[in-house]
C-alpha cells in the first residue's frame, strides 16, 4: 500500500477542533485515499524525528505556519528532498510560489495580475520612494511571504499614520507588496478556482463581512459555490501554463474587473481546497490528481 505524508503545522488538530467553519482536510482526504488503497498519514513538518524518505510522497498541505518560519521551512524542503522524499508539488515550484514576487513573473508572462508594487526585503531606503510613486489613494500592504491576511494592513493613503512603520517591520523579514484597495472584493467577492491535475474542479466566491476586506472565514467572510463563466475560467487556466513547472493542485484567486479576472494569488503550497463546496466528488478528484502526478 502506498503511504503519503499529509504535512501539517504544529497545533493543526487543535486548530481544526476550534474552527468549526472549515473542514479537517486530513480526515476527509484520508478516507478518500483509503478507497484508492493509499494510506494518508498526518505528520508535523517541524518534527525532527520523521524519516521523510519512508513515504512514497510528501504533501505539504497544511503547513500554514511557514509564513512565520520561512527560512526554517525552506531548509526543511531541501532536507526532505535531499533525503529522497518526493514532494507534491515539486520543491522548485513550492519555493517559487512561496514569495509573491512570482506575481511579477506571471505579469511578464502576460497574465492579468492585479496592480501591485514590490519592494525587496531589506530595501528600507527605497520604501518611501515606492510608497510615493504608486499614485494610489487607499492601499493595502502585506508581506511577500504571507497567507491568511498575515500582517496585512489597509490604509487610507501611502502616507497615513503607521504605514511606513508597518512596512519597515515587514521588510526586516520579507519582501513587501503594495496594492491599491480593490473595491470589487468587498462589493462582489473574491473568486477562488480550484484545479486538480490541471483540470478545473470547482469554484467559489468569498465575500467579506460588511466593513471588512479580508476574505477568510476566520474573519467572518461567507463562502458560496460558484463556477465562473467560460471566459473567466479560460483566463484562470491560462495562468497555469505560465508556472515554472507542472502543478498537481492549484488554487487561482482573483476578482473581476471589466470582464477580466484580476489575479491576486496562485496558491500551490497549502491552499485550503474548499472541498465542501466542490460536490461529492471533489475529494476524489484531488486524490486522483495526486496519484496521477506520482505516476
Please check the confidence at residue 104 and state whether its pLDDT lies above 80. Answer: yes
Whose grid coordinates read 515550484? 93
Q: Which grid coordinates are listed for 48?
A: 525532527
Q: Please give the pLDDT value at position 169.
A: 87
Q: Please give the pLDDT value at position 271.
A: 95
DSSP sequence for 156-205? SSTTSTTHHHHHHHHHTTS-EEEEE--THHHHH-EEEEEEETTEEEEEEE
What does the alpha-carbon distance between residue 273 and residue 194 come to, in Å, rounded to a whole number? Answer: 7
Mean pLDDT of the 28-45 span:
96
How far is the CA of 99 from the CAs of 81, 94, 218, 235, 255, in angstroms? 20, 9, 23, 22, 20
Q: Please give the pLDDT value at position 137.
A: 81
Please check the confidence at residue 87 and state whether its pLDDT lies above 90. Answer: yes
Q: Which grid coordinates are listed for 221?
A: 467572510
Please check the confidence at residue 68 and state whether its pLDDT lies above 90. Answer: no
Please check the confidence at residue 227 and state whether its pLDDT lies above 80. Answer: yes
Enclosing H/E stretch for 251: strand 249-257
Q: Please give the pLDDT value at position 153.
A: 84
Residue ranges and CATH numbers for the domains of the chain are 2-98 (3.40.50.20), 117-180 (3.30.1490), 184-294 (3.30.470.20)
**Do 74 and 104 touch, CB atoms closer than 8 A?**
no
CA proximity to 44, closest of 66, 17, 68, 70: 66
Please check the confidence at residue 100 and state whether its pLDDT lies above 90. Answer: yes
Q: Please give the pLDDT value at position 149.
A: 65
Q: Which grid coordinates are listed for 88?
A: 507534491
> What is the tens place of the pLDDT at every residue in 153-202?
888 777 778 888 888 888 888 899 999 989 999 999 999 999 999 999 99
Enclosing H/E stretch for 84: none
Q: Which residues contact 52 (CB under 8 A, 6 or more apart)?
A: 5, 58, 79, 80, 83, 84, 85
Q: Look over the chain and give the mean of its residue pLDDT values, rounded to a whole number.
A: 91
Mean pLDDT of the 114-135 span:
81
User: How do strand 222-225 and strand 153-155 relate by DSSP bridges?
Assistant: unpaired
How far is the CA of 288 from the CAs of 8, 33, 39, 101, in angstroms? 21, 9, 14, 31
Please check the confidence at residue 138 and state whether its pLDDT lies above 90. Answer: no
**SS3 label, residue 207:** strand
Please check the confidence at residue 46 and state whether its pLDDT lies above 90. Answer: yes
CB-based burial of residue 43 (10 Å sphere; 0-12 exposed, 13-18 middle, 19+ buried)? buried
Amino acid at each position: 500500500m502506498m503511504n503519503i505524508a499529509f504535512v501539517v503545522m504544529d497545533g493543526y488538530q487543535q486548530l481544526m477542533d476550534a474552527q468549526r467553519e472549515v473542514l479537517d482536510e486530513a480526515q476527509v482526504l484520508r478516507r478518500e485515499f483509503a478507497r484508492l488503497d493509499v494510506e494518508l498519514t498526518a505528520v508535523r513538518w517541524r518534527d525532527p524525528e520523521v524519516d521523510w524518505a519512508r513515504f512514497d510522497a510528501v504533501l505539504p498541505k497544511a503547513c500554514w505556519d511557514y509564513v512565520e518560519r520561512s527560512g526554517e521551512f525552506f531548509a526543511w524542503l531541501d532536507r526532505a528532498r535531499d533525503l529522497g522524499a518526493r514532494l507534491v508539488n515539486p520543491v522548485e515550484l513550492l519555493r517559487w510560489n512561496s514569495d509573491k514576487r512570482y506575481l511579477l513573473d506571471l505579469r511578464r508572462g502576460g497574465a492579468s495580475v492585479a496592480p501591485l508594487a514590490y519592494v525587496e526585503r531589506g530595501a528600507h531606503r527605497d520604501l518611501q520612494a515606492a510608497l510615493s510613486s504608486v499614485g494610489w489613494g487607499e492601499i493595502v500592504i502585506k508581506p511577500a511571504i504571507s497567507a491568511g491576511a498575515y500582517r496585512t494592513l489597509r490604509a487610507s493613503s501611502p502616507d497615513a499614520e503607521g504605514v511606513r512603520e508597518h512596512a519597515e517591520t515587514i521588510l526586516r523579514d520579507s519582501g513587501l507588496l503594495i496594492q491599491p484597495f480593490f473595491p470589487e472584493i468587498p462589493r462582489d467577492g473574491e473568486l477562488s478556482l480550484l484545479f486538480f491535475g490541471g483540470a478545473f474542479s470547482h469554484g467559489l466566491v468569498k465575500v467579506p463581512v460588511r466593513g471588512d476586506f479580508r476574505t477568510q472565514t476566520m474573519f467572518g467572510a461567507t463562502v458560496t459555490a460558484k463556477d465562473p463563466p467560460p471566459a473567466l475560467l479560460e483566463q484562470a487556466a491560462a495562468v497555469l501554463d505560465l508556472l515554472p513547472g507542472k502543478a498537481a493542485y492549484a488554487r487561482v484567486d482573483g476578482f473581476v474587473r471589466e470582464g477580466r479576472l484580476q489575479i491576486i494569488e496562485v496558491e500551490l503550497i497549502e491552499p485550503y481546497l474548499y472541498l465542501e463546496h466542490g460536490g461529492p466528488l471533489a475529494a476524489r478528484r484531488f486524490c486522483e490528481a495526486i496519484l496521477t502526478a506520482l505516476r
